[in-house]
Structure 1
């Protein structure tokens, strides 16, 4: 492992995206990035699908063997507010990273410019404003498969930062042991975990990953309410059946030894900061290195496609 910068000032943004509203979501992301920059953040992390929000609870009129035209209209509306990569929309996010002089990680619904397929995607921009990582979710979870497709490229991109290799897995990708190993084998020191999991058990998951990978885990979740949904969706009845608070948040930052160094934050929007101590990553690998002497490559053979 090469020498790492000693510390990283991290800002985690737990916020409610304007659902089904791409331009308003980008405006909010740019404004929140600027706020985090005022706190001297060097790395700014947003949740999964911040643009244009996670359509929690919606079915888009789909059931096994059947679909409704009304649901198709809601899906079309969501697709039209998803963004292409690259595009003027990603240019705005890159400019926000450049203005903040920080790395910026943000989840989006991506629309492929050729096929029209949607992907649940996480983007990372460098402080120069350059887009340096595009990670599409490998396998959308459950009914998410009606909305987003399986990743077809860029499976496990790593960003070379002053604090070591940084990578991301989105939401339940973190339950995939081999996907985690694909990041560990690249020496990841900062593991980004953007998600929409507000169940308390998820905290145990990110704690385990931090200990297993001997890395910092940045657990970034949304907070949003039923009132954040558009009032004119076709699935209004479904929306009205949701609880007042749809996603409680629970964002946190976990150290390589499993302690929460920030959070979890519940039941409100917040930008919270913490300082990552990178010596902790190096020291924690003395007795356990999941991709090194503990990996036993003489017994196990692991390969992950990185095309």
Structure 2
């Protein structure tokens, strides 16, 4: 394969409603593939929601019963892997013959904990694997557990090796290095970070990894939240636009190929010239001719 048409979904789910969010996922997938996409990437925790602005009734030293009710709603609408939702996603990937990458909040079927995870589906309808976020950021640690090295993987495709890190994992240099060592070609970075500075992070990773980088974020407004959540005390001070987006696609030399898009929902499309990966390695390769394994050694601890 010499090119890849990729679609980046900048949208919000039907927040905290897994069934309706799956319906919206199908509609967005259908729209993206109708425009020729062979790979479709969704944002961090698209199913069932990134719970921006919510405290779940927690402060240091105490929790509230009302907060536990919000937690239960979030937990009930999260995704089991495998389960009904993943079966549908696999079916749709096969129906539209695409690689489908989906950000979820995962409900662990054994321990009951939640994890921020990234799922990879093949055009044959197989769940290739998942990555669990290694280190949730700040208050995210209240709701999500930590992943481990067993999910720090890339997956071979006809377009090259795909893989990724979620949101601020991308600020962890050794986590990035773990993907570079696996020869990553398409680096996916679903996020909840809509700051202008995130664009610099995406460009740096493209230049550092000599790979295509796909940043994917939600566009979310407060009015999208269920009414009983909008009325919570911690939500009253939140702005109407909760996440501006900022989805973007970059080349292995840091050139912006599509986006960034702010302040609206959009299916962002880009055609990747896969030969650009080799061309970019003329003068730099972080695990090849520009590395010094005689001096610097890195291993992943399982």
TM range (shorter): over 0.9
Which residue of 288, 291, 295 corresponds with 1:295?
Answer: 291
Are residues 268 and 221 of structure 1, via their aligned partners in 2, closer, same or farther at CA, if it must alter by over 3 Å? Answer: same
Offset, 1:155: 2.8
Contact 1:138/1:155, CA 8 A, preserved across alignment = no
- Structure 2 equivalent of residue 241 of structure 1: 237
Aligned-partner SS, 1:154: helix
> Shift in Å at residue 295 of structure 1?
1.5
Query: Structure 1 residues 296 and 153, CA, compared in 2 at 3 Å: closer, same or farther?
Result: closer
Q: Please name the residue that 1:82 is paired with.
A: 78
| In 2: Cα distance, 1:61 partner to 1:235 partner | 14
Note the alpha carbon deviations across 1:248-289, whole angstroms, 9 max, x for none.
Answer: 001000111011110000100010211001110111011110
- 2:139 counterpart SS class: helix
Instruction: State the partner residue of 1:129.
Output: 125
Is 1:51–2:50 an aligned residue pair? no
Matches for 1:16-27 after TM superposition, within 5 Å = 16-27=12-23
Distance 1:302 1:262, change over 3 A: same
1:135-155 deviation per Cα after TM superposition (whole angstroms, max 9, x unaligned): 000010000000000014633
Indicate conservation of the 8 Å contact 1:167/1:188, yes or no: yes
Is the Cα contact below 8 Å between 1:6 and 1:277 reproduced in 2?
yes
Question: Secondary structure of the equivalent of 1:8?
Answer: strand
Aligned partner of 1:13 in structure 2 is 9
Return the TM-score normalized by structure 1: 0.96
Using the TM superposition, give the Cα deviation of residue 32 of structure 1 relative to its aligned residue in structure 2, in angstroms: 0.6
> Do 1:74 and 1:234's aligned partners in 2 also have CA atoms closer than 8 Å?
no
Partners of 1:246 and 1:234 lie apart in 2 by 12
The count of corresponding residues between Structure 1 and Structure 2 is 302
What stretches of structure 1 of length at least 5 have no aligned partner? Answer: none
* Secondary structure at 1:233 match in 2: helix
Does 2:211 correspond to 1:215? yes
Moved more, 28-37 or 174-183: 28-37
Q: How far is the alpha carbon of 1:235 from its aligned partner?
A: 6.2
Task: Please state how far the C-alpha of 1:39 moved relative to its aligned partner.
Answer: 0.8
Residue 206 (structure 1) aligned with residue 219 (structure 2):
no
* Cα distance in 1, alignment partners of residues 135 and 246 from structure 2: 23
Structure-1 separation of matches of 2:231 and 2:58: 11
1:197 aligned partner = 193
- The alpha carbon displacement at 1:234 in A equals 8.6
Alignment match, 1:106: 102
Instruction: Measure the CA separation in 1 of the matches of 2:231 and 2:200.
Output: 34
Partner of 1:73: 69
Query: Where in structure 2 are there 5+ consecutive unaligned residues?
Result: none
- 2:111 maps to 115
- How far is 1:245 from its partner? 0.7
Partner residue in 1 for 2:87: 91
| Over 2 Å off, 4+ runs | 152-155
User: So what's the TM-score if we normalise by structure 2?
Assistant: 0.98
Q: Supply the distance in 2 between the matched residues of 1:273 and 1:50 (Cα, whole angstroms).
A: 19
Q: Which residue number corresponds to residue 225 of structure 1? A: 221
* 1:237 CA drift (Å): 2.1
Residue of structure 1 equivalent to 2:279: 283
Work out the CA distance in 2 between the residues paired with 1:56 and 1:105. Answer: 21
Aligned 8 A contact 2:223 2:230 in 1:
no
Partner of 1:90: helix, strand, or coil? helix
Counterpart check, 1:164 vs 2:160: yes
